[in-house]
Chains A and B, each alone.
Chain A
Amino acid sequence: MQLQAQYAGYKQVTNTEDFKKQFSKAAQGTQSIQCDFVQDKNLSMMADKIVSTGKFWFKRDNKVRMEYEKPTYYLLVINGSNIKTKDSQKENKVSAKSNKVFEQVNQMMIDCVQGTALDNKSFSTRLFENGQNYMVELTPLAKSLQGIFKSINLTVDKKDYSVVKMDMLEQSGDNTVISFLHKQMNVNIPDAVFSVK
């Protein structure tokens, strides 16, 4: 029998229906999100981490923009099935449909902010809770993603069912935590912010 991960301070929730309803309801009321983010890349064997910061935008439907400012510039824009990335030297445009890993990561990010993370068919899911938060554990089913991630865990605030942080755990023991801060909900964000042209 395979041992499944448990998380300190969390207990598993077996009946996930109530959470699904509330998470989906809160997400339905979210037309847009604008916030800062802090990304901690924890390197377990090195006992060190790389901290990145930037800005995050989401707009219904299927539009996400992540702009890394420090320590280095990087732009990721998801607009439907189109993805644009830009580093200090090169801009790249791809269709998520042309790359399975991209498509799965794209769908996972959209599901996180649209409240449909538990319904994503590319992952098996488990739900945990503590006093303040729920945690949705997404374990990839596709081999392409399994080679990179052991699981992707979303921490959801019990107060407003918004995603507080996303923790991507790698097979190597390293993980990347993206924390969303200073959230502004339902502010007007021009479509040009999500331009992939």
Chain B
Amino acid sequence: MRYFRLNSELSRKSKVESKKCRSLATGFCCVLVSLLLFTNCKSYYRNLRPGSGDVNCVRQFSPRFTNTLYSAIIDVTKHHFSGILFFKLMPDSSTRIVFTNEIGVKFFDFAFSKDGTFTKYYLLPKMDKKVVVNALRSDLRLALLRPDLSEAKVFTDDGYTYITLPDKSGNDHYITQGCEKLVRIEKASKRKPVVVVQMLNYINGVPDSIDVLHKNFKFHIALKRVER
């Protein structure tokens, strides 16, 4: 009899605990979902405040490529490419960009004219897909850092100066420290960075290393300057 009473008591307690657990679990889930939603909805750029300054100051960070070689590593999804990336300033002021592997097989040959017009001279047939061309064009354009600043605005956040340029799907942010040092460039959606470009250790107007990292899928370009 005592056994049944104990059992019934345990069963009642268990139901209460179970209810509590369910309620706790539901609560936890609600908090988690809210947090996730909150985090997802919260813009990475929510603290940007309008600032002042000359947007054109960012032009000083545009690399002054003449005929510059970089050792290049490109990782795209599961594919790994290495080779040499060559930037050359042409007599018509366009910049030609060629990527070959070490053995000399050319992967691509692109150009950006002085006014920013893009030309694809060559892309290895196996790589010649619209999505590849668009990604490379966009990344190289960011690294050349020759934006049309007519619609650019200045913002500040936590000591950084953002020179922000609207584009079709979001903004390009050129982030500096008082426009004295280029911290990074971000191609962003409305809420978060999609591509982050870092150009470090400028020597005679040319960065010693360039790093382009895509946040939405595995696509990473790492360039390290080498002597000719």
Q: Is B109 an interface residue (CB 8 A)?
A: yes
| Interface-lining segment among B31-39, B43-51, B65-73, B145-153 | B65-73
Distance between B213 CB and nearest chain A CB, rounded to angstroms: 15
> Which residue in chain A gives the minimum CB-CB distance to B104?
A176
C-alpha spacing A1/B143, complex, angstroms: 47
* Docked-complex contact B69 and A50, CB < 8 angstroms: yes
**Best-surrounded residue of A43, A72, A170 (most CB of chain B within 10 A):** A72
Query: Which B residues are CB-close (under 8 A) to A45?
Result: 96, 109, 121
Q: Is B84 an interface residue (CB 8 A)?
A: yes
Q: Is A172 an interface residue (CB 8 A)?
A: yes
Distance between A15 CB and nearest chain B CB, rounded to angstroms: 33
- Name the contact of A68 in the complex, choosing from B86, B100, B102, B124 (C-beta under 8 A): B102
- Name the contact of A172 in the complex, choosing from B67, B88, B122 (C-beta under 8 A): B122
Interface residues of B in 69-93 (CB under 8 A from A): 69, 71, 73, 80, 82, 84, 86, 88, 90
Q: Is A52 an interface residue (CB 8 A)?
A: yes
* Docked-complex contact A71 and B73, CB < 8 angstroms: no
Interface class of chain B by DSSP: strand
Q: Is B125 an interface residue (CB 8 A)?
A: yes
Query: Which A residues are CB-close (under 8 A) to B109?
Result: 43, 45, 172
> Which residue in chain A gives the minimum CB-CB distance to B226?
A71
Query: Which B residues are CB-close (under 8 A) to A88?
Result: 71, 73, 82, 224
Known: A48-B67, A51-B228, A71-B69. A170 touches B84 (CB 8 A): no
Q: Is B105 an interface residue (CB 8 A)?
A: yes
* Docked-complex contact B73 and A87, CB < 8 angstroms: yes
Q: Is A142 an interface residue (CB 8 A)?
A: no
Interface class of chain A by DSSP: strand
Query: Which A residues are CB-close (under 8 A) to B227?
Result: 70-71
Query: Which A residues are CB-close (under 8 A) to B98?
Result: 43, 46
* Docked-complex contact B86 and A72, CB < 8 angstroms: no
* Docked-complex contact B90 and A41, CB < 8 angstroms: no
- Name the contact of B226 in the complex, choosing from A41, A72, A168, A174 (C-beta under 8 A): A72
> Which residue in chain B gives the minimum CB-CB distance to A177?
B104
Knowing that A41-B104, A51-B228 are A-B contacts, what are 12 other residue pairs whose CB atoms are under 8 Å apart, sorted by A's residue number? Answer: A43-B86, A43-B98, A45-B96, A45-B109, A46-B88, A48-B86, A71-B71, A71-B226, A88-B224, A147-B124, A148-B124, A172-B106
**B binding-site residues for A, Cβ under 8 Å:** 67, 69, 71, 73, 80, 82, 84, 86, 88, 90, 96, 98, 100, 102-106, 109, 121-122, 124-126, 224, 226-228
A-B contact pairs, 27 of them (CB 8 A): A41-B100, A43-B98, A45-B96, A46-B86, A46-B96, A50-B86, A52-B102, A70-B227, A71-B227, A72-B71, A72-B102, A74-B102, A74-B103, A76-B103, A87-B73, A87-B82, A87-B102, A88-B224, A89-B73, A89-B82, A147-B125, A148-B124, A168-B104, A172-B106, A172-B109, A176-B103, A176-B105
